[in-house]
Amino acid sequence: MTTTQQTDLLQTPIEFLKGVGEKRGVVLRKEFNIQTFNDLLYYFPYRHIDKSHVYHVSDIVNDGGYILLRGKIHDVRIVGQMRAMRLTAMFSDETGSIELVWFNGIRWVSDVLRSRTEFVIFGKPTLFNGKWNITHPELIDPNQQESSPISLRFQPMYNTSETAKKKSLDSKAIARLTANLLTQVKDVIPETMPREMVEELHLMTLRDALVNIHYPEDNQKLSQATLRLKFDELFFTQLKMLKLKLINTNRFEGFVFEKVGHYFNTFYKECLPFDLTNAQKRVLREIRGDVGSGHQMNRLLQGDVGSGKTIIAVFSMLLAIDNGYQACIMAPTEILATQHYEKISRQLEPLGLRVEFLSGSTKVSQRRRILADLRDGQVNILIGTHALIEDNVVFSKLGLVVIDEQHRFGVEQRAKLWRKSGPIPPHILVMTATPIPRTLAMTLYGDLDVSVIDELPAGRKPIVTQHYYEKDRLKVFGFMKQQIAEGRQVYVVYPLIQESEAMDLLDLQAGYEAIERSFPPPTYSIGVVHGRMKAEEKDFIMDHFKKNEIQILLSTTVIEVGIDVPNATVMVIENAERFGLSQLHQLRGRVGRGGNQSYCILMSKYELSNEGRKRLDAMVETNDGFEIANFDLQLRGPGDIQGTRQSGMLDFKIADLTKDEKLVAYTRNYAQQILEKDPDLSLPEHKRLAETLEKMMQRDTNWSVIS
């Protein structure tokens, strides 16, 4: 059978598999996204039940797990009436007897039991009235087990759903469909790797791996199958990302910023109010290498909250301006974009550069003036929200794009900005304050160069994080008053705006009333911001808070990213157990921006889930964003880490980035070695890799070119 015929068979619509049909096909498509034979082949069981060892009745000595017995069934009876009706039978082998009982499907089971006498049964023995019995044992035809072309020693268990169960698609039914499928396709499964590579790495063939992941011959074969399939997922993901990186580097010419000129040097020598950390200097050297190489820069800049990413963006933009280009920063919210504008325009004022701000709320007359001057090259730096990607925003000579908190923008939004510099794309610097674990960064951003700022600026004190319960509220209020008396300010963050009947949370509205009773005006000034307010209302409150005219700011998570008030030293998070770890860490980063000791207070109810308690304990134990991110990855898995879902490439079916860290690194190194030797995968021994990779490339849109 040719490769094309193999592929055609595996792409057969699932309805045509024996046992599926039109109605079940609809359920498989809707519930599990199983569209074809190939999709079912890659719908892996979450565990197996061992049916490889046959026990004797005499081996049953205490309540244990499931066991397999082989013997004869006799003395079949239906006893009781109506709801008390049940079917009983005696099962015997050479060592003894045990009673079997059924309460459901009595007529059907009775017919099966009377059709023959010898059975293999599988079930869990329990003790009832001093005698062992097995309720609803599975009845297996020993002749079928021995004649099956696939091993039936281990029973696969598949995830299912209530909707599927209603259509008789429980785990056993899916197992039967998989068995049908394997007998039909196991000899036409195409290999994805060269035979020499499979042998060199001591891997199982893909055919054997796919058979054994569903119906393993033994535990060793199951382990080998799991390793091969994990290797496939991780290796081809890494090969794809590294190949894209190679394509982008070779295909996309970049503007050459060869000068480190007047603006960069003057800012460094005369305007910088603090010394750069060694980590910041290292990152700047990496960026200078990129923008001077003649290739387009695509760099991800990771740094914990408060680590000084923005100043790196400023230096990068000054490099662009020194070389005759414009630069822009796109931020996800008006609050964050405004803050960037105010801070950067203030820092660059001595240099006489023109920095402008553009958002949806910019007045028409002002917008018209900014856009005209941008086209003429009179605007050096444009800072704004997604308003920057509108078609009428035209640059004279855009050389550098900085994207802040990039996971908040869709890829199509970023693509529009990327296309605004003509035939040569601008250099791209992507910034995130959401630390990404190494294995995740290696996989999700494998096509980007990654820089990490892993030290805080000098003089920053670690934030003290404490966990309190409702009974401690007066103590917390007393601490807030003490900090305010010392001239400091306080954030109080709530998960909801108004009370929800479904969730018993301390909402912002009720919280305001409680705070006002304990912190009465005019002695204390309280402000409120939330997502339903108009932008100008939020800006008005935030402006008063920045000027220390408001001492306590009550908020929802609109302040999660980017708000910078150095005088705010206390962050109180209500119902902290309701927030994810990444969000808690981001909120904590709103304090500790100045030189004063800062505090994060996590308030929660006393009854916490195990996971909720682990999250809060992790926050108390460490301020390190990468440790937090690793812990978050272990708790939630990569699909839930902020911003990764949109990638569409972390939908691993068997690999686990939290447990397979060594395999991630190994597959990346292996893929790197292959591409160093054969960048185009044109050597005969890499033909199969090239074919597999081409299919992946055709399936996935290449968004990597715009980070």
Compute the average pLDDT of residues 158-173.
Answer: 90
Q: Under a CB-based contact definition with an 8 Å cutoff, are residues 445 and 436 in contact?
A: yes
Q: Residue 49: beta bridge partners?
A: 155
Q: What is the pLDDT of residue 370?
A: 95
Neighbour-count burial of 154, counting CB atoms closer than 10 A to its CB (0-12 exposed, 13-18 middle, 19+ buried): buried
Peptide bond preceding 437 in cis form (omega within 30 of 0): no
Compute the average pLDDT of residues 174-197.
Answer: 93
* CA distance linking residue 352 with residue 417, whole number of Å: 26
* CA distance linking residue 457 with residue 591, whole number of Å: 14
Compute the average pLDDT of residues 421-427.
Answer: 83
Band (371; pLDDT cuts 50, 70, 90): very high
Band (647; pLDDT cuts 50, 70, 90): very low
Band (185; pLDDT cuts 50, 70, 90): very high
Lowest mean pLDDT among 328-342, 560-574, 577-591: 560-574
- Return mean pLDDT, the chain: 85
Q: What are phi and psi of 603, to 5 degrees?
A: -100, 135
Q: What is the pLDDT of residue 648?
A: 41
Q: Where are the domains of the chain?
A: 1-52+153-189, 53-150, 262-453, 464-622
Compute the average pLDDT of residues 674-691.
Answer: 93
If one compares 557 and 320, the residue with the highest pLDDT of the two is 320
| Angle (nearest 5°) at CA 285 between 280 and 291 | 125
Lowest mean pLDDT among 379-383, 445-449, 486-490: 445-449
Q: Which two tokens stand for residue 84?
A: 């008390």
Compute the average pLDDT of residues 662-680.
Answer: 91
Which residue's entry shows tokens 């790197």? 672
* CA distance linking residue 286 with residue 304, whole number of Å: 18
Q: What is the pLDDT of residue 358?
A: 94
Whether 198 shows a pLDDT value over 80: the answer reads: yes
Whether 690 shows a pLDDT value over 80: the answer reads: yes
What's the pLDDT tens digit per position in 27-48?
999 999 999 999 999 999 998 8
Q: What is the pLDDT of residue 497?
A: 57
Architecture, CATH, for domain 464-622:
3-Layer(aba) Sandwich (3.40)
| Angle (nearest 5°) at CA 579 between 573 and 581 | 100
Q: What is the pLDDT of residue 438?
A: 66
Q: What is the pLDDT of residue 705?
A: 47
> What is the DSSP annotation of 136-170?
SPEEE-HHHHHH-SS--SEEEE----HHHHHTT--
CATH of domain 262-453: 3.40.50.300
Compute the average pLDDT of residues 579-588.
Answer: 86
Compute the average pLDDT of residues 304-315.
Answer: 88
Compute the average pLDDT of residues 17-36.
Answer: 93
What's the pLDDT tens digit per position in 376-423?
999 999 999 888 888 899 999 999 999 987 555 555 666 676 677 778
Whether 7 shows a pLDDT value over 60: the answer reads: no
Band (625; pLDDT cuts 50, 70, 90): confident
Q: Tell me yes or no: is domain 53-150 CATH 2.40.50.140.
A: yes
DSSP state of 461: P
Whether 649 shows a pLDDT value over 50: the answer reads: no
Whether 311 shows a pLDDT value over 50: the answer reads: yes
Residue 202 CB neighbour total at 10 angstroms: 9
What 3 state SS string does 214-233 have? HCCCCHHHHHHHHHHHHHHH
Highest-confidence segment of 55-64, 143-152, 459-468, 620-629: 459-468
Q: What are phi and psi of 62, to 5 degrees?
A: -155, 170
Band (134; pLDDT cuts 50, 70, 90): very high
Beta-carbon contacts of residue 164 (< 8 Å; ≥ 6 apart)? 27, 28, 31, 32, 170
Q: What is the pLDDT of residue 508?
A: 77
Q: Which region holds residue 608: left if phi is over 0, alpha if psi is between -120 and 50, else beta?
A: beta
If one compares 113 and 7, the residue with the highest pLDDT of the two is 113
- In the chain, pLDDT over 90 holds for what percent of residues? 47
Band (706; pLDDT cuts 50, 70, 90): very low
Is 236 in a helix, a strand, or coil?
helix
Q: Which two tokens stand for residue 386?
A: 């997604």
Of residues 382, 383, 384, 431, the one with CA closest to residue 405: 431
If one compares 617 and 302, the residue with the highest pLDDT of the two is 617
* CA distance linking residue 49 with residue 222, whole number of Å: 12
CA distances 143 to 18, 70, 136, 154, 199, Å, are: 21, 12, 21, 17, 36
Q: What is the pLDDT of residue 643?
A: 43
Q: What is the pLDDT of residue 302?
A: 86
Band (500; pLDDT cuts 50, 70, 90): low
Band (251; pLDDT cuts 50, 70, 90): low
* CA distance linking residue 666 with residue 662, whole number of Å: 6
Q: What is the pLDDT of residue 66?
A: 82
Compute the average pLDDT of residues 100-121.
Answer: 88
Whether 524 shows a pLDDT value over 50: the answer reads: yes
- Max CA separation in the chain (angstroms): 100
Compute the average pLDDT of residues 263-273.
Answer: 91
CA distances 186 to 9, 13, 17, 67, 388, Å, are: 11, 17, 14, 29, 53
Compute the average pLDDT of residues 288-296.
Answer: 91
Q: Under a CB-based contact definition with an 8 Å cutoff, are residues 78 and 100 in contact?
A: no
* CA distance linking residue 507 with residue 109, whole number of Å: 57
Q: Under a CB-based contact definition with an 8 Å cutoff, are residues 541 and 529 in contact?
A: yes
Band (642; pLDDT cuts 50, 70, 90): very low
Q: What is the pLDDT of residue 539?
A: 80
CA distances 272 to 261, 267, 324, Å, are: 16, 6, 22
Of residues 143, 162, 161, 160, the one with CA closest to residue 152: 143
Compute the average pLDDT of residues 160-179.
Answer: 91
Q: What is the pLDDT of residue 701?
A: 52
Q: Which two tokens stand for residue 683?
A: 């050597």
Q: Which residues of 418-433 are buried (b: 16+ CB within 10 A; e: fewer)?
A: bebbeeebbbbbbbbb
| Topology match between the domains 262-453 and 464-622 | yes
Looking at the whole model, is its pTM more than 0.75? no
CATH of domain 1-52+153-189: 1.10.150
* CA distance linking residue 37 with residue 271, whole number of Å: 64
Cα–chain-centroid distance for residue 702?
A: 19
Q: What is the pLDDT of residue 8?
A: 79
Q: What is the pLDDT of residue 557?
A: 74
Q: Under a CB-based contact definition with an 8 Å cutoff, are residues 183 and 70 in contact?
A: no
Is 95 in a helix, a strand, or coil?
coil
- In the chain, pLDDT over 70 holds for what percent of residues? 88
Q: What's the half-sphere exposure (Cβ side, CA atoms, 13 Å) at 16?
A: 11
Q: Residue 301: beta bridge partners?
A: 431, 451
First to last CA, the chain: 41
Q: Which amino acid type is present at position 620?
A: V
Compute the average pLDDT of residues 437-465.
Answer: 78
CA distances 101 to 54, 67, 83, Å, are: 20, 16, 14
Whether 560 shows a pLDDT value over 70: the answer reads: no
If one compares 360 and 382, the residue with the highest pLDDT of the two is 382
Q: Under a CB-based contact definition with an 8 Å cutoff, are residues 106 and 85 in contact?
A: yes
Is 343 in a helix, a strand, or coil?
helix
